[in-house]
Chains A and B, each alone.
Chain A
Amino acid sequence: MKRRGWVQRQGWVGYAFVLPNMLGILIFLILPALFSFGLMFTDYQFSNPRWSFTGLDNLRRLFGDDNFYDSLKHTGIFLLSVPAALVLAFLVALVLNRSVYLKGLLRGMFFLPYISSGVAVAFVWMLLFQPSHGPINEALRWLGVVSPPGWFADSGSAMYAIDVVQVWFMLGYNMIIYLAALQEVSAEQLEAARIDGASTRTITWRILWPLVSPTTFLLLITGLIMTMKSFALIQAITQGGPSGSTTILSLFVYKTAFSYYEMGYASTISWFLFACIFAITLIQWIGQKRWVHY
């Protein structure tokens, strides 16, 4: 009897300690999330006091909305930047892990984008990608390309141009994490492989790549989640244009909620976005057994 009383009392103290934090999470995270879940079933418009429950109308509208399918497709293209950034970062980390000249400087240079201001970076890329006299297209023309792509100015290429910026952005962070992972790899293993006559290529893809697979897994999951949610970069560069070609799901939510004030519909889209992220993470979690070696 008395023993339990003491346990209970101490348990109470423990809860008291986490209370301030939990209160914050409850008020600023859980309640709004529940609220938005409720909004899904209404036609609530921000600031408009008249609203009603509409059941599953928002979901029906979502699956009949061309703009939604377009933004889903754009999100898919945007997600390509994650594996691209991973592989590139791995290769860069490999090189920078060896003894090369100016190693410190190069590492710093690759990491620089990650710590610079996103909006400033966006403007630099807009100048670089300027279609008629930007440095990139000037260089392409000099190399003999007759009509270089319009990059951000063309609805066919804009999403891929955004991918380029995103890869460049994520590269430094991924590289640093990979560098740390590569330094964990024991020299004996590599030496043994070399004695057995393994080529650099074999060592890279058969030994190093599997050995850093937990890192790849971590970066892949966090990268996909971050990319699906990311918003600032595109908002700064194209605002979802031209002709909606860079409107990914998160921008679609933003536009619906804060430009059209359709909070009910916007909540529906964001819960769909959440479901996507959740599903992707779950699939990876299950799939990891096949390729992640701890």
Chain B
Amino acid sequence: MAEEKKYKYSIIIPTYNERLNIALIVYLIFKHLRDVDFEIIVVDDGSPDGTQEIVKQLQNLYGEDRVLLRARAKKLGLGTAYIHGLKHASGDFVVIMDADLSHHPKYLPSFIKKQLETNASIVTGTRYVKGGGVHGWNLMRKLTSRGANVLAQTLLWPGVSDLTGSFRLYKKSVLEDVISSCVSKGYVFQMEMIVRATRKGYHIEEVPITFVDRVFGTSKLGGSEIVEYLKGLVYLLLTT
């Protein structure tokens, strides 16, 4: 029998005021990845609500080698949070996910399985296919999402069904390569990452995920987000 290579997975979770959710998400990750070698890297941007205290409590419980706290002084943005987390990642693969429980750790095994089966460079979660889904969006929100998706598909041919999703697994070297060429902020950053990866010819696979919108805390989608999105689309259209 061929010896199975054991891979290590670094899970980077950027946080800002996720005092309640961070403990829940760490519990769920440990629950669903029992036989997997992994580490959780919490990149907290100086949360005033005491998120880091909770992380320290989690470190006492699970070990500082499994739960890493790599904080920053203040809110510095998502892209740089990933780069910061990457510097401390010792895994062969890097998972990025949100701390607000919209991304459920129970899908982590399916990401890992898909990657092992296909040897993909990137496995991205998609909410828009059968087996996936969204809960907690009203009709307007769904309409905006669908419209935005159709527009992006028509203009960019991105090669994935869910462009703004941020639940992804990357080969570490691939993430390092793609992230170095991305300059956008916020969720446009997520779009830029996957579009640049497609342009560079990386093998990308998708797995269905379900997305339950913000259990604790407030979600944001207003006119300014829509404008940002359109500007992002034009930027990606012209520069990728």
A and B from one assembly? no
Q: Which residues of B contact A (CB under 8 A)?
A: none
Q: Which residues of A contact B (CB under 8 A)?
A: none
